[in-house]
Structure 1
Amino acid sequence: MRSFCQPSRLLPLEQVVEIGFKCAMALGYVWRQGLIHRDVKPANILTAIDDQGEITDVKLSDFGSVLNFHSDATQVHRVGSLAYMSPEQLDGATLDCRADIYSLGAVLYHLICGRPPFEAETQGALLNLICHAQPLSLMGLREGVTEALDQLVRSALAKDRGQRPGGWEEFAQALSALITNHEVPRGRLQQVLDSERFNLLRSLEFFDNFGDVELWEVVHRARWMRFPYGHRIYRRGQEGNQFYIICQGEVEVFREGEKVAMLGTGTSVGEMAYLAPSPDLKRHSTDVVVSKAATVVSFTPDMLAQLKTETRHRFDTAFIRVLVRRLHAAHEALAHPRRIL
């Protein structure tokens, strides 16, 4: 990310926030493994760039300075890159995840305005600024920076770590909320961002048992689609080759013209395309029609086969829950037809 810290190459604000969210999620995973990176800086955030020159993903690198709480070996303290180090890191104090939160805040500050939070001609002067001075408001350094964005980044840079976000999940959610609540201007990235997709899936019961790593894989592998009211997702007799998980909206299920079910947010349709052992069983016995404009994620069996084993296992567990509920509903319908209808 170092090249995007130059004033002439600054990224759109929503992309900076998106990168911050992804880094926060990655560093949260690192923290849960009992590790502190201790050298979060632009040069250690690598970018994947497509043919159009757009950043498609970011990865953290250089774990040579990591502090491992599970290691019995002697570990050197006061390591890192000075411009992005927290005051407690400079003091040699006991560290927790908030040291890396400070460093990521310093990186975001640099990516937003083209300069680090503190600059000085000598190392001693820079140390003094990091420990005692307050960074300038970003609102005066770049057009379009909102008060909410400014406050969040500068809260990550608080001298007292107790005044920073309390953990990675809190920081990641606060970054995502900036986009959700339109607290950063949307420039050329008008599509749904990965942070929005991740949080949308995280809110669904179907993905309750998915860890962050597995959920990120779903975000990147799934095909995202929007269907208007009245769109027919499936027709009776059609052979299924994909299934859908409803993220927003509702669909109605019809058998021979009679409405038999309504499915809403968090439910799946067409899962037999994945589960059925023979082509005959993959043929739909109902019509499925959108009754409220819907956003869905779509998978084919081939796409699922490309997922990691652990992610496929999570899908299988979620499908079992779905099928058990539907069998129970069918049992209730047979036992108490008047109550169901």
Structure 2
Amino acid sequence: MKEIAAMNLNLKKLDKYQLIRLIGQGSTGNVYQGYDPFSGNEVAIKTFEPTRSIPAEERALFEKLFLQEASLAGKLKHPHIVETYDASVEGEHPYIVMEFVNGTTLAPYTQPGALLPIEQVVQIVFKCCKALEYAQSMGIIHCDIKPANIMLTEAGEVKISDFGAALHINCDRTQILGVCSPNYMSPEQMSDETPNHQTDIYSLGVVLYALLTGRLPHQSDTLFGLIRAIKEDTPENVRVLRPEAPLHVALATHKALEKSLERRYCSWNQFADDLISGSLSDSARTRRRFSHAGPSLLVDHYTEAVKFYRIRSLSILQDFSDITLWELVRISDWNQIKPGCTLIHEQSRGDDFFILIEGEACVSKGQRMLSMLGAGEVMGEMAHINAGSLRSASVNITKPSIVMRIPSASLKTASVELQNNFNRLFLKSLVDRLGAANNLIAALLA
């Protein structure tokens, strides 16, 4: 990296990017809210401009961190990871251009007087699990998971940031040591062992513990004492510190904090599934209470994390990426519908379609039953394909059901990937129906 010039805080532009305001300032650089005139989006711009008082060794370390983060430009695209759009490391003022996140970090919510509702904590950590699972699939281990590196937007969305200390699994580049927060480091990091994804699992377990209880699982007045506690001591039970915490959440927290890699979660999927499974049981009890009350919105009872978990398990959506499934969660409506309700009326207009998440439905034309549908089947897609046409059949709910509605208008403005996934799904459905019709005709003619 070339010799760095001191940044003029009155600077209004960096290459094509307009600088709107200074939003953060430190010993190694500044962070600006900026504007990209090409995309029309607000962005965050991090500059590298260490003060002269920083020792040469530390400067070299922070330069490595900056270059590491800059190398991720365009590589990690996930709804729960702060995206790095662009970077310039050779000019007079090196900078990284990132997604602008309007919100705060999770750090304030680890204080005893500012704890979030447990359901929200579970959803936050579930989303982090899926985001870090994605990063792992891209060959990247974060290595510095802590509340200060997890953003919570004003809309309640979660974004993991700061991959400067990340380990690239499929690269000769080694982990940059000496920059992680000791309170969130795993026992193997304390022993200078090579990190892997289970290292991030442990660190996220510490975040979960702190969000639930308002304290860290291990504390000490000295670094030596903290290292010893992390490697040897058992954390106090979550339910002692927060009695209302569900048993499954407490168990998941403590398993993520296991010192032994053999006893700790070996995959993000296991961690995420254990967190959400108890929530599904709670939702099942809620459904039973509402089972005779008619159609009832489940928005208050199903978090985005639970919705994602439910559709991820559907075989018809197995070819959809996690990224497109999160998008589907955001554009869809979920309803609980009691038996005897008609979901689709024959000869009615409408181009929305539905997926049966749970329950049973009957497809009929006139007085004739055509088929019975179970969980994971699509309903009403022909009206979506032939926009403006009348519905050719009725769909009646025969058992207490959970139905996901996908508004046609929302899908048309969704990502190309999500639209293509559904187009392939519809094509396969048409082929299967044509094959079934041919078999029926052949049997009648035999």
Tell me by how many angstroms 1:335 deviates: 2.2
Please report how far the alpha carbon of residue 182 of structure 1 lies from its aligned counterpart in structure 2 after TM superposition: 4.3
AA aligned to 1:308 is: S
Equivalent residue for 1:44? 149
User: Which TM-score applies when normalising by structure 1?
Assistant: 0.90
CA distance in 2 between counterparts of 1:150 and 1:110 reads 12
Query: Could you tell me which residue of structure 1 aligns to residue 433 of structure 2?
Result: 326
C-alpha deviation, 1:289, in angstroms:
1.7
Counterpart in 2 of 1:315?
422
The question of 1:283 aligning with 2:390 is answered yes
Cα deviation digits, residues 245-269 of structure 1 (max 9, x gap)? 1111222222222112222211111
**Amino acid paired to 2:243:** E
Greater Cα offset, 163-172 or 267-276: 267-276
Letter of the aligned partner of 1:162 in structure 2? Answer: E
Mapped to 2, the partners of 1:290 and 1:231 lie a distance apart of 6
Determine which of 270, 293, 303 is the counterpart of 2:400: 293
Are 1:240 and 1:272, in contact at CA under 8 Å, matched by a contact in 2?
no
Q: Distance in 2 between matches of 1:300 and 1:220?
A: 11
Contact 1:223 1:297 in 2 (8 A): yes
Give the drift of 1:303. Answer: 0.9
Partner in structure 1 of residue 233 of structure 2? 133
Identity of aligned residues (%): 34
Match of 2:242 among 138, 142, 146: 142
* Cα distance, 1:338–1:259 mapped onto 2, change above 3 Å: farther
Question: Match of 2:328?
Answer: 218
- 1:315 & 1:27 partners in 2: Cα distance? 26
- Counterparts of 1:29 and 1:112 in 2: how far apart (Å)? 25
Could you tell me how far apart the structure 1 residues matched to 2:430 and 2:314 are?
Answer: 17
The residue matched to 1:161 in structure 2 has which SS? coil
Find 2:120's aligned residue among 1, 7, 15.
Answer: 15
Q: Which letter does structure 2 place at the counterpart of 1:309?
A: V
Paired residue secondary structure (2:157): strand
Deviation at 1:104, TM superposition (A): 0.3
Matched, 1:302 2:409: yes
Equivalent pair of 1:273/1:301 in contact (CA under 8 Å): no
Which of 232, 236, 240 pairs up with 2:342? 232
User: How far apart are the structure 2 equivalents of 1:133 and 1:264?
Assistant: 49
The structural deviation recorded for 1:147 is 4.2
Normalised by the length of structure 2, the TM-score is 0.69
Change in CA separation of 1:147 and 1:275 when aligned onto 2, cut-off 3 Å = closer
String of CA shifts for 1:40-77, please: whole Å, max 9, x gaps: 11111111234xxxxx3211111111111233335423
Q: Work out the CA distance in 1 between the residues paired with 2:143 and 2:175.
A: 12
1:99 aligned onto 2:206: no
Task: Assess, with a 3 A threshold, how the Cα gap between structure 1 residues 81 and 198 changes in structure 2: closer, same or farther.
Answer: same
1:86 equivalent to 2:186? Answer yes
1:246 aligns with 2:356: yes
Q: Which amino acid aligns with 1:47?
A: L
Structure number having the greater helix percentage: 1
Paired residue total? 328
Instruction: Specify which structure has the higher proportion of strand.
Output: 2
User: Contact conserved, 1:158 with 1:164, CA < 8 A, in 2?
Assistant: yes
1: CA distance, partners of 2:240 / 2:127: 26
Q: Paired residue for 2:159? A: 59
Aligned to 2:61: none
Structure 1, residues 23-56: CA drift from partner, whole Å, max 9, x if none? 1111111111111111111111111234xxxxx3
Unaligned runs of 5+ in 2: 1-105, 287-298
CA offsets 1:133-184 (integer angstroms, 9 cap, x no match): 221112221121344433321221122222101111111111111322449x
Deviations 1:230-284 (A, max 9, x none): 22222222223211111112222222221122222111111123222x63xx211
Whether the 8 Å contact between 1:236 and 1:284 is mirrored in structure 2 is yes
Separation (CA, whole Å) in 1 of partners of 2:352 and 2:246: 42
2:220 aligned with 1:117, yes or no? no
Aligned counterpart, 1:202: 312
Report what 2:81 is aligned to. Answer: none
**Higher gyration radius (CA):** 2
1:220 to partner: Cα distance: 1.4
2:132 to 8, 14, 27: 27
Displaced runs of 4+ in structure 1, greater than 6 A? none
Q: Which amino acid aligns with 2:128?
A: C
Pairing 1:241-280 to 2, within 5 Å after superposition = 241-276=351-386, 279=388
